[in-house]
Chains A and B, each alone.
Chain A
Amino acid sequence: MRGYEYFKPKTIEEAIKLMGSIEGAQYIAGGTDVMVMLRQKKIAPRCMISLRNISDLSYIDTNDGLRIGSAATHSAIEENEYIKRRYCALNDATTHLGSRQIRNVATIGGNICNAAPSADTACPLLVLDARAIIVGPKGSRELALDDFFLGPGKTALEKGEIVKEFVMPRFDESTGSAYIKHTRRQAMDLPILGIAARITISVKSGSEVRCKDMFCTIDSISNILSRLKEEGMRCVDARIAMGVVAPRPIRAKKAEAALTGKIISPELFEEIGDIAAGEAQPRDSIRGEAWYRREMIRVLVKRALIKSIDRVIRPDEAIYPERLW
């Protein structure tokens, strides 16, 4: 094996300068993807530029909305109480990625920049309207995450550029979100399908929708939806994102548009599931066949939306009934 040199810059500027001055250099953060690619001989860099020692790149700032430094590890995000309550979809993704050992070192920036169609944090960041702050040789720029992914392993990053942080707006208490990772085993697996949703709802005054019994049942999803319809619950705003259904994580924009402004009902959710499935272009792979993925989009889009609604209605329930969702 040809060796490589290993640099540990202390600032972003230093890292970018190094990248510009050395041919065949590779950025490395947590290394859980890069070290594997190296071993598989998919890459053969002349030198590694580590982003681990850059101070002030692993912060989680919850003062106004949410800012996450790209070097924040999945473990750090997973343990953040504010994210657990207000950015549930992101918490869902970080708690279910890889294993404890992987989450302790793998960074959110690495997960996004590796740009796997199955990247667990991608769908949550898409539904949470995240923007990537990118720093490069030509200065810094901001990009909506939806414009960041170009294809499998391909991003809008230009040579030398580094994602510094992800910025998300603040969501009020009428907004909930969820990410459902569909896998064969709970740990150490890539999703067959990943679905994230965020929904903002409004209810008429005097509605009894906040009555906890509404969700604490073994009822079918359609019965629960019927009750929400009776209460006149309206979707004010919605986002749906899907992973492993296209060359990159995508938003189901037609489904979002069809949901926004409507009264929630079983029929509407059926329709949303169908529209979302129509927006996907899944393919056969070792983890699942295309027809199965398409079927499961219908199921999981509904489930992710209702789980999000549940989190608005019952924010204090520690862990939502996994049996149901």
Chain B
Amino acid sequence: MKRELTFILNGEAVTTEVDPQWTLLYLLREVLELTGTKEGCGYGECGACTVIIDGQAVNSCLFPVMEVEGKRVTTIEGITSKDGSMHPLQTAFINEGAVQCGFCTPGMIMSAKALLDAKDKPTEDEIKEAIEGNLCRCTGYVKIIDAIKSAAGGR
């Protein structure tokens, strides 16, 4: 049986019908067609589905959609400015060559954003800890860490 729920998605209130057994990831990708958020493993291991809920990085593949009621959700689509210009993290990822196949990138950027929102100048250890739940199978971690550092420095 479908249920109606309302939450704030990328700054705008959204009211939508959901099936109680959906995950937030299913709602985002298959219903709202925000396919920037990726499904990698579906078990919370890879972090490709990371979104920010009320300021905290969360695996959307493990997040029951019914729990999103009234929460503020930010996805990779929601971090660009209103005029369409990229977020400093996105620019930094491009400049530092931190994108290879690109599949992990949205999750990486969301984890990094949650960190930078909470902390202006994170240490390298804090950066590593923030992205420890994000797998990059192109194994470009060094450049990803460089990119996050440079985005933090540029603020």
Contact = CB atoms under 8 A, between A and B. Distances in A.
B133 A100 contact: yes
Contacts, number: 83
Interface string B49-76: 0100000111101111011010000000
B66 A6 contact: yes
A39 interface: yes
A52 to B, nearest CB: 6
A1 B21 contact: yes
Given A31-B64, A50-B64, A104 B58 contact: yes
A22 interface: no
Interface residues of B, number: 31
Interface string A136-156: 000000000000000000000
Contact of A28 (B3, B44, B64, B111): B64
A187 to B, nearest CB: 3
B1 A101 contact: no
B98 to A, nearest CB: 18
Among A8, A101, A105, residue most surrounded by chain B Cβ atoms (within 10 Å): A101
B144 to A, nearest CB: 14
A100 B129 contact: yes
Contacts of B63: 31, 35, 105
B120 interface: no
Contact of A39 (B1, B3, B43, B132): B43
B77 interface: no
Given A99-B132, A188-B132, A6 B21 contact: yes
B19 interface: yes
Nearest to A3: B21
Interface string B73-116: 00000000000000000000000000000000000000100100
A263 B133 CA distance: 43
Given A39-B42, A104-B58, A4 B66 contact: no
Given A36-B43, A102-B59, A186-B132, A8 B19 contact: no
Given A101-B133, A104-B57, A187-B132, A6 B45 contact: no
A180 B62 CA distance: 28
B66 A99 contact: no
Interface string B118-137: 00000000000111111000
Contact of B67 (A32, A50, A100): A50
Interface of B: 1, 3, 19-21, 23, 42-45, 47, 50, 56-59, 61-64, 66-67, 69, 111, 114, 129-134
Given A31-B64, A50-B66, A101-B44, 9 more contacts: A8-B67, A32-B44, A35-B62, A50-B64, A99-B44, A101-B133, A102-B59, A188-B45, A188-B132
User: A-B pairs with the 10 shortest C-beta distances?
Assistant: A99-B133, A187-B132, A6-B20, A6-B66, A104-B56, A35-B62, A101-B133, A101-B59, A3-B21, A101-B57
25 contacts: A1-B21, A3-B1, A4-B20, A5-B20, A6-B64, A8-B69, A32-B62, A35-B23, A35-B61, A35-B62, A35-B63, A36-B62, A52-B67, A99-B44, A100-B111, A100-B129, A100-B131, A101-B44, A101-B47, A101-B133, A102-B59, A104-B57, A105-B56, A187-B133, A188-B132
Interface of A: 1, 3-6, 8, 28, 31-32, 35-36, 39, 48, 50, 52, 75, 98-102, 104-105, 186-188
